Every structure is written in C-alpha cells, then in structure tokens.
Amino acid sequence: MDKEILKQIIIDQANEPMPSSIVPRGQYQELTELARNKQVTILSGIRRCGKSTLMQRFRQENADSDYFINLDDDRLIPFQLEDFSLLIEIFIELYGVQNNFYFDEIQNIFQWERFIRRLHNEGRKIYITGSNARLLSNELGTHLTGRYIPIKLYPYSFKEFVAWKDPSILVKTRHNSTQIALIKKYFSAFMALGGLPEYLENQQRQYLHTLFESILYKDIIARHKLPQEKPIKEILYYLASNNTKEFTYNSLRKLVGLASSNTVSEYCNYFESCYLCFILSRFSYSLKRQTNSPKKIYFIDQALAENIGFRISRDRGRTLENIVFLQLLRQGNEIYYHKEKQECDFVIRDGYEISQAIQVCMSLTDEKTKKRELGGLLEAMETYQLKTGLIITEDESNTQVIEHNNQSYTVTTVPCWQWLLD
C-alpha cells in the first residue's frame, strides 16, 4: 500500500471528533482492569453497538494512545498483511515509540492474527475490536491460544438507556413516585427503540435497514463467500418475524427450498457469529435430545428485529422476552429454555445444575395466562429441584408461596424495568 496514503488515513482518523455525549459502559471498567495485563484484549460485538467509541474513550484517557487505526475504512481496501510493518513505521514517524496498539475491525485483514502474535511476543499491549465472534475465535485459537482475553459489548442495556436519557435518576437507590413514572416512561421507549446508540440519536428506520444490509452483505455473504443471497435473506426474514418462537432447521430448510438442514444450521451459525441473533437450545441432560429439539431465536436488538421482519402489530410480550434474554446474556449466564408438558422461558445452568428458572409475560391479570405461566415455571422448579422462581412482567410485583405436588415453592413477580435496573 502507498505510504503517503496510509499516513494520511492515520492522521485523518486521529482527528475525527468524539461523540458529544458518551454514555458510560460497564465494559470500560473491564478495559481499565486489563490495562496492565499482558494478554491481547479483544472487544467484540455487533456493528455500531459502540465498540469504537468505547475504545476511543479508553485510549484517549490513557498514555501511549496514538497507535490507532480503524481498518474498516474504505480507503484501506488495498491493505494486506505485509502492510502492518509499514503501519508501524508510520506510527513511529508520527508519534515516536509507544507500547500500546489499538486496532478497530481488524478481522478485515487476512491473516491479521500472525502480525498480532508478533507484536504480543515483543511485549506490546494490544487492544482489538471486531464484529465477528467466529472469525476472531477461530483465528485467535490458531495463533494466540492463551494469549487473549475477550470482552463482549452489546447495544445499550436499559440502565445505559436511562443513563443516556436522564443519568440523574441512576444516582438514587430509592425513587419517588415521579421518578418511578419517568422510569416507566423510559422503559416503554426502550421497548420500542432498542439500544443501538446511533439509532437512538437519529431514530430513522432507514438507519436500521442500512445496518442490517451492511451486516448481511459484509459480515455474512461476502465474508463466507456464499453463492446465494435469497435463502439467507428469507431465513433471516422468517426468524425476525418469529422472534422468541421455536423453530427447527428442517422446517427452515423446507421453507426456503434448501437441500440440507446442515446448510441452514451453518447459516444460523453465521448469524450468531456477527451477533445479529442468538439460538437458544432446550435443556436436557441428554445431549442428543438437546441437539434434536427445536430451537428458539432471539435478536440482538428489538428495534432491529422489528425492522427486519414482518408483523401486523407490535407484540410487546415477545419484545419483553427478548429484552430479558439479552440481559441474561449480558450477565454471562448459560441460558436454555425448559419444555416438557409445559414451557418455562429460561433456565440458567450453573456448572452441572440448573440454578434458576425465569418466566416472562406482560401481565398475570388474566387467569388463563396466569395458570399457564405459573404452570410452566412450577414444572421447571420441580424438575430441577428449585425452591424459588421468578416471573418478570411489565409492571407487576408480589411474592407468593405456592403448594404444588406436596411441595412449597416461592414465586416472586417483579417489573422488568426494576429487574433491569437492579
């Protein structure tokens, strides 16, 4: 690559302004704690979830912060593995010798991991962002085994959404009636708008469409050299239209006319790799049964899922369930769903055991709904020998002791907004 062009790109990127308002992210503390760790720090997540902003904020508040390049710049299309040596040469010319390196969207460069390993062996501290979990893990696993620490970044949580809207509310641990009313108002907005930072700023549906197209063509079709676009779009369209519902790879195969269920499974792996959506398995102590059971689908952002799929009207219950799933994911839980005679939305595995059962519904005021939701939760609690269970609703709260099959179970119902802030 031409040296002068590369130098100009570095200078241009160094002068790009930071966003006027930055929402504190929980992962900032993780980055700070890893600053003295010699391992490569990997910050990954879906495109436009705030990885670059978080890295920029972190590096600008630390010494040795000038060795930065965003490799998702269209001017860097000619950049190849051998150009990394030229990059270091330019860094030294511009900023002198520094120890820290910051690479944004590094997976765009073929065999980048070889260069990173060389830097790591030289004792340099390296920070990387990327928007493809599978690509990063495969390449790092080959050349950097035991030499990196991953951090996942998601779109704004509800707490971060409130921090964006009105950070003063988060200062208090107890809220008065007016503040609770405001929190509920913000939660209603969060359900509709999701947590993608740029979309929250402009709230233009076209932005979500453009983001989806970028993920589809750059991170899925082009990266994996897929010959057919139509079945992939049809699968994503179906999954987004049926967010939080069960599906099988074979039913999707028939829907789009593919020859093999394995091909559909591989496509779904690609969707997960770029953090677009997540596949949830039914829990079973039998791995074969778990593998062959229907899956459930959840998307990275409720507004993005609505923009991709088709719905006659907004289903707030499904949106609520998707929000709870994402929060459980942020917490680092190993999540499954339970289904025997009845269904429980989420069970959390801790080691060899299921440690928690969670049911999600908009409201328990309807007796038929209450019977169904309690029935699924109690079945899961009985199956996994749990004495307590949780029901997350839009705005209901109580604790009750229920007698079931000669056993006592404590079921707590909590508003989702409260659970998310706690």
Q: Write the pLDDT tens digit of every residue in 239-260.
A: 999 999 999 999 999 999 999 9
DSSP class per residue in 132-199? -HHHHHHHHHHH-TTSEEEEE--SPPHHHHHHHH-GGGGG-SS--HHHHHHHHHHHHHHHHH-S-HHH
- List phi, psi (to 5°) of 127: -120, 135
Looking at residue 134, its pLDDT comes to: 67
Distances (CA, A) of 411 to 358, 372, 377, 415: 10, 14, 9, 14
Looking at residue 301, its pLDDT comes to: 98
SS3 state at 64: coil
Chain segment 54-108, per-residue pLDDT in tens: 999 999 888 899 999 999 999 999 999 999 999 999 999 999 999 999 999 998 8
Q: Are 161 and 302 in contact (CB under 8 A)?
A: no
- Decide yes or no: CATH 1.10.3470 for domain 204-314: no
Contacts of 88 (CB under 8 A, 6+ apart): none
Looking at residue 135, its pLDDT comes to: 61
Looking at residue 202, its pLDDT comes to: 93
The one-digit pLDDT tens for each residue of the chain (422 residues) are 999 999 999 999 999 988 777 898 989 999 999 999 999 999 999 999 999 999 999 998 888 999 999 999 999 999 999 999 999 999 999 999 999 999 999 988 988 989 999 999 999 999 999 988 766 666 666 778 888 999 999 999 999 999 999 999 998 778 899 999 999 999 999 999 999 999 999 999 999 999 999 999 999 999 899 998 999 999 999 999 999 999 999 999 999 999 999 999 999 999 999 999 999 999 999 999 999 999 999 999 999 999 999 876 778 999 999 999 999 999 999 999 999 999 999 999 999 999 999 999 999 999 999 999 999 999 999 999 999 999 999 999 999 999 999 999 999 999 999 999 98
Q: Any bridge partners for residue 297, and if so which? A: 279
- Domain residues of the chain, as ranges? 3-152, 158-192, 204-314, 326-421
Looking at residue 132, its pLDDT comes to: 83
Which CATH class, in words, describes the domain spanning 3-152? alpha beta
The alpha carbons of the chain give a radius of gyration, in whole angstroms, of 23
Q: Are 376 and 348 in contact (CB under 8 A)?
A: no
